[in-house]
């Protein structure tokens, strides 16, 4: 296998987990706070007029692992996309007992512009542009892919942080409000489209079939041990 370019040597930046309801959200949050994680930020409601989500982000000082815990808030006439795994199931079946769902994996690159251009040149499709924002730790660039599978709700976030992300402490609590709101709106639009048509455009739909596995392997090759 040819050596991967530097921008494709990806590290796990964080994982985001959806919760079925307020009980699951509070239980997971309390469990993490009692397990060596400290809060990075917490936000009550970010989204659209009808639906939204609450987020709790935390960092383990022991392992450096970052986790975000999300509670989707649906309205009587509209399901939040962050409730989709619980409202519509996953892995091809209804999931009435599932309390959590891993919604996205964020992978850190050294050059998000090059990475996105490279993946798009192969036919991969992103849901969002590259958002340029700042959190407590420093400048933060993020771009989100379309979902990977028909019967799942999983996607990848690519991140570039222009500082040594493995060497920061718990930091402050600045929150990338604009990015999270923009992402929420884009995901909700994508989800409404799926509810209407039952179809979704996936991350690798535009990549020739025989190249998909290799491309996905190149993206995940350095992260498998951590999943």
Tell me how far apart the alpha carbons of residues 15 and 12 are, in angstroms, rounded to a whole number.
8
Shorter beta-carbon distance to Fe ion: residue 32 or 106:
106
- Compare residues 14 and 212 and give the one whose CB is closer to Fe ion: 14
Q: Tell me whether residue 157 or residue 218 sits nearer to Fe ion (CB atom).
A: 157
Please state the closest distance from residue 40 (CB atom) to Fe ion, in A: 12
| Nearest residue (CB) to Fe ion, 16 versus 51 | 16
Taking the complex as a whole, the smallest distance from the CB of residue 199 to Fe ion amounts, in Å, to 25
Q: How far is the CB of 130 from Fe ion (least distance, A)?
A: 14
- Minimum CB–partner distance for residue 27 and Fe ion (Å): 21
Rounded to a whole number of angstroms, the minimum distance from the CB of residue 15 to Fe ion is 8
Helix (H, G, I), strand (E, B) or coil at 56: strand
- Helix H or strand E encompassing 195: helix 177-197
Please provide the size of the chain in residues. Answer: 227
Strand bridging mode 155-161 / 138-144: antiparallel
> What is the smallest separation between the CB atom of 210 and Fe ion, expressed in angstroms?
31
The sheet with strand 11-19 has its strands ordered as 37-47, 52-60, 66-73, 11-19, 100-108, 155-161, 138-144, 131-135
Interior/surface letters 146-184, b for 16+ CB within 10 angstroms, e for the rest: bbbeeebbbbbbbbbbeeebeeeeeeeeebbeebbebbb
**For Fe ion, which is the closer residue by CB, 128 or 222?**
128
Which residue reads 């199931």 in tokens?
Answer: 89
Binding residues vs Fe ion (CB under 5 A): 16, 106, 157
CA dist 168 and 189 (Å) reads 35
Distance, in Å, from the CA atom of 204 to the CA atom of 227, rounded to the nearest integer, reads 20
Structure tokens at 93: 């079946």
Question: Which C-beta is closer to Fe ion: that of 58 or that of 207?
Answer: 58
């Amino acid at each position: 296998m040819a050596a991967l370019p530097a921008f494709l040597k990806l590290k796990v930046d964080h994982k985001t987990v959806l919760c079925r309801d307020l009980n699951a959200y509070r239980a997971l949050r309390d469990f993490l706070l009692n397990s060596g994680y400290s809060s990075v930020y917490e936000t009550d409601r970010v989204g659209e007029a009808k639906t939204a989500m609450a987020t709790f982000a935390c960092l383990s000082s022991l392992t450096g692992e970052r986790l975000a815990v999300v509670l989707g808030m649906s309205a009587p006439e509209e399901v939040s996309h962050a409730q989709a795994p619980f409202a519509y199931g996953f892995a091809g079946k209804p999931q009435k007992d599932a309390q959590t769902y891993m919604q996205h994996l964020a992978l850190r690159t050294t050059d998000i512009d090059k990475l996105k251009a490279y993946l798009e040149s192969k036919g991969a499709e992103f849901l969002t542009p590259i958002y340029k924002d700042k959190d407590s730790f420093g400048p933060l660039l993020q771009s989100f892919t379309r979902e990977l599978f028909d019967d799942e709700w999983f996607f990848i976030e690519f991140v570039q942080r222009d500082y040594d992300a493995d060497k920061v402490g718990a930091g402050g609590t600045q929150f990338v409000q604009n990015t999270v709101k923009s992402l929420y709106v884009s995901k909700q639009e994508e989800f409404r489209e799926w509810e209407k048509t039952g179809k979704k455009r996936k991350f690798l739909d535009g990549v020739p079939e025989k190249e998909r596995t290799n491309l996905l392997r190149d993206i995940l090759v350095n992260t498998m041990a951590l999943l």
